[in-house]
C-alpha cells in the first residue's frame, strides 16, 4: 500500500484528506507543520508528499527544498490557497511536481496522485515506453523501434513530461515555468514552436500524438 504524507496546518482539512485517502486505497499520515513532517520522514518511507505552502514557522517552500536535498525522486504536490503565478513558479523551481489550489476536488486529487505515482515508477525505471516508442532518461535518448529520434534537451524534457501524464493538459505557462529560466525573454508562444518541431520529428509515430488543447496548451494522447 502506498504511503502518503499530508502536511497541512488546518487540522480539519488535514484529517479530512487523510480520511479520504485511507478509504481509497492509500495509507495517509497527517502532520500539522514541517517539524512534524521531518520527524515522520525520518521514521517512515513515504511514496508521495502533499503539502500546503503557508505552514507555521517553516513554509512549504523550505520543506520541499529540504526534502529535495535528501530525495530527488519522491513526488510532491502542493495543495494551497495561493493561486498567484509567483508562488507556482517558485514551487516548481524548488521541486514540486504538481500544484492544486484550494478548495480542492478530492476526486481530482486522487487522479493527480495516481499520475504522480505512475510517473515516479517510470522515473525509478529510468525508461518510458509507449508502444514502439522508448525514452531513456539515463542516456537521454528516444527511439521509435530501431530508429533514434534526435531530440534537444528541452524537447526531450517537454515530451517526457507530456507522456508521463497522458491525457492531462498542460498550459503553455506551466511548461514555460518548468522548462525555461525565470529571466527568459521568450513568451508562452515559444512552446508552440517546440511542439511543432516535436510533431515533425515524431510524424512516423503511431502510438501517441501531441494534441493542442485550444485556448489552453497541450497534452499527449495515447492511441
Does residue 174 sit in helix, strand or coil?
helix
Q: Are 51 and 8 in contact (CB under 8 A)?
A: yes
pLDDT tens digits, 99-139: 999 999 999 999 999 989 887 876 666 788 899 999 998 88
pLDDT tens digits, 30-45: 999 999 999 999 888 8
DSSP 104: P
For the chain (223 residues), the mean pLDDT of every run of 10, in chain order, is 94 96 95 95 91 95 92 91 91 92 94 88 76 90 95 94 86 88 75 95 96 91 90
| Helical residues (DSSP H) of 23-152, grouped into ranges | 34-43, 60-70, 85-94, 106-125
Amino acid at each position: 500500500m502506498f504511503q502518503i504524507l499530508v502536511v497541512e496546518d488546518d487540522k480539519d482539512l488535514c484529517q479530512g484528506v487523510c480520511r479520504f485517502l485511507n478509504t481509497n486505497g492509500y495509507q495517509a499520515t497527517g502532520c500539522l507543520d514541517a517539524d512534524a513532517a521531518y520527524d515522520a520522514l525520518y521514521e517512515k518511507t513515504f511514496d508521495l508528499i502533499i503539502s500546503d505552502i503557508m505552514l507555521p514557522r517553516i513554509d512549504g517552500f523550505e520543506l520541499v527544498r529540504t526534502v529535495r536535498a535528501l530525495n530527488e525522486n519522491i513526488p510532491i504536490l502542493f495543495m494551497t490557497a495561493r493561486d498567484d503565478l509567483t508562488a507556482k513558479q517558485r514551487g516548481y523551481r524548488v521541486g514540486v511536481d504538481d500544484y492544486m489550489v484550494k478548495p480542492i476536488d478530492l476526486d481530482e486529487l486522487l487522479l493527480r496522485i495516481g499520475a504522480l505515482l505512475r510517473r515516479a515508477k517510470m522515473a525509478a525505471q529510468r525508461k518510458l515506453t509507449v508502444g514502439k516508442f522508448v525514452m531513456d532518461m539515463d542516456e537521454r535518448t528516444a527511439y521509435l523501434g530501431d530508429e533514434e529520434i534526435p531530440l534537444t534537451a528541452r524537447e526531450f524534457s517537454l515530451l517526457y513530461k507530456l507522456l508521463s501524464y497522458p491525457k492531462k493538459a498542460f498550459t503553455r505557462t506551466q511548461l514555460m515555468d518548468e522548462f525555461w529560466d525565470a529571466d527568459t525573454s521568450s513568451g508562452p508562444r515559444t512552446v508552440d514552436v517546440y511542439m511543432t518541431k516535436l510533431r515533425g520529428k515524431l510524424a512516423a509515430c503511431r502510438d501517441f500524438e501531441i494534441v493542442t488543447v485550444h485556448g489552453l496548451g497541450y497534452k499527449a494522447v495515447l492511441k
